[in-house]
Amino acid sequence: MKNKAFPFVLLLLLPFMINAQSIFRGSYWKQQRKELTFGIGASNFLGELGGQDQIGTNFAKDLEPSATRYVISAGYRYYLQRWLAVRGNLSYGVVSGDDALTNEPFRNNRNLSFKAPIIEAAGLMELHIIEEKKGSKYKLRGAKGSFSSKLGLYLFGGIGLTHFTPKGQYTDGKWYNLRPLSTEGQELEGGPEKYSNITVALPVGLGLKYYVSRKLRIGLEVGIRKTYSDYIDDVSGDYFDVNVIREEKGDVAAYFADRSLEMIGPGGTWQTRPGEQRGDSDDLDSYMFAQLTVGYKLFKQRGFRRIKSRRSVPSF
């Protein structure tokens, strides 16, 4: 009688078992909502210096691949929902530009170059539009986990602060911090105010994640940072009187203020004169990051009881 009653009891309990399993699976993601992230990859700059063989254009059309440098990053991701996460991220990288890399006449003749170490601290919101599948929770012998997709896709956007230090290489091979040299007459009589080397940045982009294990993800993330500064490359406005810069700041400052290639007139006066265009203050600077990423989940992985043989399964 017990053997005959067991199937009926099982049928009565089945809806409750399914419901409990659904609740468990529905909340299981909360055990994995904390994650450390790391990244390493390439950086590039979109500003006045360098660029394609044309008048400066916006966004990636002016990207110069040979000016690619590096970036590393670390962060902490916290899932608010299965599909929604916030992330605090800290990045360090270098961006650069060189007018010698373009054949556009004005930019090439300007002959300026720079590199700038940058530190970015950002808060990001992530929308996970495709979630990677985690497969079977239980390690049963002969039971294969269902991995319909190990790939995840997310979009991100946020706000951050970026600290930058534009530098130029002098004839002696040394790199000089350009901001104190007032290359466009900053803080000199008749010149503009000194610019800040901290700017607000707006990161936006997308990422791919590949599920390796319950704790490990690898991926690729690409994003652009639109800033509120036009001085990451130390170029924005017009030429200032180079003789005044030399008197106030010295020969090194005068060298970086005007490095035009051509000279005209008696005595070899510079082709560029005070008030002529040096940069384009209407277009603010941007930079891009493309990184290989690693995500590590912060949770205690519980042990799983294995079913060694079919003998441990009740027989009917």
Tell me what pLDDT residue 76 has. 98
Residue 186: C-alpha distances to residues 22, 223, 282, 284 (Å): 65, 32, 18, 18
Chain-centroid distance of CA 119 in Å reads 11
Is the predicted pLDDT of residue 5 greater than 80, yes or no?
no
What percent of the chain shows pLDDT beyond 90? Answer: 57
**Quick one: DSSP state of residue 67?**
G
Nearest C-alpha neighbor of 157 from the set 196, 191, 122: 122
Q: Residues 82-108, buried b or exposed e (16+ Cβ, 10 A)? A: eeebebbbebebbbbbbbebbebeebe
Q: Is residue 301's pLDDT more than 80?
A: no
Contact of 279 with 24, CB cutoff 8 Å:
no
pLDDT of residue 137: 45
pLDDT tens-digit series, residues 107-130: 888 899 999 999 999 999 999 998
Mean pLDDT value of segment 270-290: 87
The pLDDT confidence band at residue 307, using thresholds 50, 70 and 90, is very low
Question: Mean pLDDT across the stretch 225-242?
Answer: 95
Parallel, antiparallel or unpaired: strands 34-46 and 175-177: unpaired
Residue 315 CB-half CA count within 13 A:
4
Q: What is the pLDDT of residue 231?
A: 96
Instruction: Say which residue, 166 or 51, is predicted with more confidence.
Output: 166
pLDDT tops 60 at residue 47: yes
The DSSP H or E segment spanning 252 is: helix 251-257
Predicted confidence (pLDDT) at residue 65 exceeds the cutoff of 70? yes
Report, as an integer, the average pLDDT of 163-188: 96
| pLDDT band, residue 54 (cuts 50/70/90) | low
CA distance 61 to 243: 37
Average pLDDT over residues 39-59: 77
Torsion sign, CA atoms 268, 273, 276, 281: positive
Q: Is residue 185's pLDDT more than 90?
A: yes
Q: What is the pLDDT of residue 135?
A: 52
CB count within 10 Å of CB 37 equals: 21
Q: Average of pLDDT values for 213-217?
A: 91
The pLDDT value given to residue 175: 97
The structure tokens listed for 154 are 């997310």
Q: Report the pLDDT value the prediction gives residue 28, as an integer from 0 to 100.
A: 64
Name the pairing type of β-strands 269-270 and 175-177: unpaired
Closest by Cα among 311, 235, 294, 298 to 32 = 298
pLDDT, residue 41, reads 98
Q: In CATH, what is the architecture of 32-176+195-236+281-299?
A: Beta Barrel (2.40)
Both tokens assigned to 267: 């005595």
Q: What angle do CA 180, 181, 185 make, to 5 degrees?
A: 110
Residue predicted with more confidence, 35 or 299: 35
Hey, what are 219's tokens? 């991926």
Q: State yes or no: pLDDT of 80 exceeds 70.
A: yes
Question: Which pTM does this prediction carry?
Answer: 0.80
Burial class (CB in 10 A: 0-12, 13-18, 19+), 60: exposed
Does residue 26 register a pLDDT over 60? no
The pLDDT value given to residue 31 = 79
Higher pLDDT, 6 or 302: 302
Domain coordinates of the chain in residue numbers? 32-176+195-236+281-299
**What does each C-alpha distance from 241 to 56, 106, 176, 189, 257 come to in angstroms?**
25, 19, 20, 11, 9
pLDDT for the residue 62: 67
Average pLDDT of the chain is 82
Cα separation, 149 vs 83, whole angstroms: 15
* Cα gap 301→31, rounded to integer Å: 10
Confidence of residue 303 (pLDDT cuts 50, 70, 90): low
pLDDT at 4: 53
Contact by Cβ (8 Å): 304, 251 = no
